[in-house]
Structure 1
Amino acid sequence: MAIRQVRTFTDVWARGRRTLRRAQKVQRRREVGRSAVGRFLTAGVCVLAGLMIIASALNAKGGDLRPGRNTDLVSLVQSQSRRNTDLARQLTRLRDDVDQRTRSRDQVSGADLGLEQQASLAGLRAVAGPAVSVTLDDAPDDVTADGVDEDLLVVHQQDIQAVVNALWAGGAEAMTIQGQRVISTTGIKCVGNTVVLHGIPYAPPYVISAIGNQAQLRAALTKSPSVTIFKQYVDAYGLTYQERATARSQFPAHEGSLDLRYARTYHGDQSSTPSGLPTPR
């Protein structure tokens, strides 16, 4: 039994050695068939890599082969640095100019006073003084008039403008409408049942106030034909017209644009007045 086991092990060992020998022979034949081509390709790759390394070294000349981005950044930093330096110098010159003009302004007090007076007259400065205020309002909702257009029972642009013109004619030094300062380019525009002033719509009642000699202002309102016509509608249909004098009123400075955007001549309706009705406004 032991002899049989030894023979079996010997046979297995012999078969393994024979299999390895055959594999080695096959591998040698394959290497012999491809050795020349493989060696040639390996040498070619090595030579090509060496040429690339030599070419790169010659082109670099000790520097970076990809300096484009870095060069752009460096140039940008240098350019911005020069620009900042120029701006700093310009700022210094402007400050010196402002200081010089300030000193000159302090020395010419008379010219400065005249400028302030003109700014006040133009409505660019807040003012205070005795004032006359006029309040205009529509007729009450329960008022109806047979044969009369309902549009005539409300306050319109021309009614406000009539009061404004009368107050200017009476020597008004400053004026406000609904608390907004009136200047030479102020336009009053009627849009629906509201009045637009400096781009802001207002609903009635409308308050027009003026600083000046109160007696002269009231006299000018009394003499105004347009204001007199409005008072006829007050008596006939219940519209509101009220005058009030105050010992001291504070008017704000104008805060809007000074440009005159639109201007055109107004031509009123000259048609005849029906019998028994007030003169058309």
Structure 2
Amino acid sequence: MAVPDETPVEASPPKRVYAPDFLTELFRNPLEPGYADAAARKLRDGEPVGARKRVTSGVLALSLVALGFLLVVAYQQTVADEPARSTARAELIEQVQKRREITAALQEQSDRLADEVSALRERQLSGEEAQRLRDTEAATGLAPVQGSGARITVGDGPTPINPVTGERNTVARVKDSDLQLATNALWSLGAEAIAINGQRLTATSTIRQAGEAILVDLRPVTTPYEVVAIGPDDLAEDFRTGYAGRFFEQLGGKYGMSFDAREADDLRLDAATELKLRVAETSAPPPQPSTFSSSGSASTPAGPSRSSSEGGR
């Protein structure tokens, strides 16, 4: 009569079943099933002995030797490359310093030539013509001006970071359209000259957004944005009570953006660094020499009345 084998059959470890709330289950049972199985086998079989232990120890020792060799090679390579990196860095620093010195020398030469041009102009023009030219340069932004006016300051509000996505909320940041609104409002209120963070505005100036930066004539400006204008004595009050001032006050109340408009005396705005004209029109065409056609009658070719330069934006 056959006797059934009563040797207990080792039951396989139960598989983990995740509850719908994954985070709760993860904190309740943080141990990975593979680690639990390895711990159970070690408890059941014990430490490896004999040939198995020697093989395991040999593999471990070989791995440690290989890892140490790689670390030594990496360290030697790093030490060998360090002089080259230091030399390259020193050369770059030297080039930057030389370029700065060259730029400063060229700027001094440009200022000196500009003074010579001004002196020659004053010598050649009469007093009335020179004054009219100076007034035109001040109006177009080609000459520095000073006087009283308004100082408008706007700044970014708080820009919190979304804890989930990591993105920064930029709704409370000043946009290029905000600065355009401020400058257009100042022009309409009688401003004669305007500068944003020291950048003088001209008839061809641009205020653009480039990512998170605002560019005034391709030069970046940062918050807080200071719009300085020379104009009537009540320019600041008119701006504050006008549509632009009310708009910025609403932004401050809703998004926490800063806004201030106050009168200012002894303002000085530097000249614009560059003014590029796209179209020029002559007041009268230059005289042209007479030419004779095949029939013998004289004719005068008409000269061009408009010309365009290549440096316009």
Kindly tell me: are residues 174 and 104 of structure 1, through their superposed partners in 2, closer, same or farther at Cα, counting changes over 3 Å?
A: closer
Kindly tell me: are residues 258 and 141 of structure 1, through their superposed partners in 2, closer, same or farther at Cα, counting changes over 3 Å?
A: same
Query: Is residue 256 of structure 2 the alignment partner of residue 245 of structure 1?
Result: no
Kindly tell me: are residues 228 and 110 of structure 1, through their superposed partners in 2, closer, same or farther at Cα, counting changes over 3 Å?
A: same
Kindly tell me: are residues 102 and 155 of structure 1, through their superposed partners in 2, closer, same or farther at Cα, counting changes over 3 Å?
A: closer
1:71-220 to 2 correspondences below 5 Å = 105-106=124-125, 108-142=126-160, 150-220=169-239
Bigger Cα Rg: 1
Cα offset, 1:221, TM superposition:
4.2
Point out the structure with the larger helix share.
Answer: 1
> Are the aligned partners of 1:159 and 1:227 in contact in 2 as well (CA < 8 Å)?
no
Could you list the runs of 4 or more consecutive aligned residues of structure 1 that deviate by over 4 angstroms after TM superposition? 101-104
Instruction: Give distance in 2, aligned partners of 1:104 and 1:128.
Output: 24
Cα offset, 1:114, TM superposition:
1.2
Cα offset, 1:103, TM superposition:
9.6
Q: Which runs of 5+ in 1 are unaligned?
A: 1-97, 263-281
> Are the aligned partners of 2:237 and 2:262 in contact in 1 as well (CA < 8 Å)?
no
Instruction: Give distance in 1, aligned partners of 2:219 and 2:157.
Output: 23
Give the RMSD, CA atoms, in angstroms.
Answer: 2.7
TM-score, with structure 2 as normaliser: 0.45
> Are the aligned partners of 2:159 and 2:173 in contact in 1 as well (CA < 8 Å)?
no
Alignment-mate amino acid for residue 129 of structure 1: G
Alignment-mate amino acid for residue 251 of structure 2: Y
Residues paired across the two proteins, number: 157
3-state SS, counterpart of residue 201 of structure 1: strand
Question: Deviation digits for residues 39-90 of structure 1, max 9, x if unmatched?
Answer: xxxxxxxxxxxxxxxxxxxxxxxxxxxxxxxxxxxxxxxxxxxxxxxxxxxx
TM-score, with structure 1 as normaliser: 0.50
Question: Deviation digits for residues 215-263 of structure 1, max 9, x if unmatched?
Answer: 1343144222x4423321210120111113222111111112333645x
Cα offset, 1:143, TM superposition:
9.1
Instruction: Give distance in 2, aligned partners of 1:240 and 1:163.
Output: 14
Instruction: Give distance in 2, aligned partners of 1:133 and 1:216.
Output: 9
3-state SS, counterpart of residue 274 of structure 2: coil
Kindly tell me: are residues 192 and 112 of structure 1, through their superposed partners in 2, closer, same or farther at Cα, counting changes over 3 Å?
A: same
Alignment-mate amino acid for residue 172 of structure 1: A
Structure with greater contact order relative to length (CA < 8 Å, sep ≥ 6): 1
Alignment-mate amino acid for residue 183 of structure 2: V
Cα offset, 1:104, TM superposition:
8.1
Q: Which runs of 5+ in 2 are unaligned?
A: 1-116, 163-167, 279-311
Kindly tell me: are residues 209 and 143 of structure 1, through their superposed partners in 2, closer, same or farther at Cα, counting changes over 3 Å?
A: farther
> Are the aligned partners of 2:161 and 2:169 in contact in 1 as well (CA < 8 Å)?
no
Cα offset, 1:102, TM superposition:
6.8
Kindly tell me: are residues 230 and 102 of structure 1, through their superposed partners in 2, closer, same or farther at Cα, counting changes over 3 Å?
A: closer
Cα offset, 1:173, TM superposition:
1.3
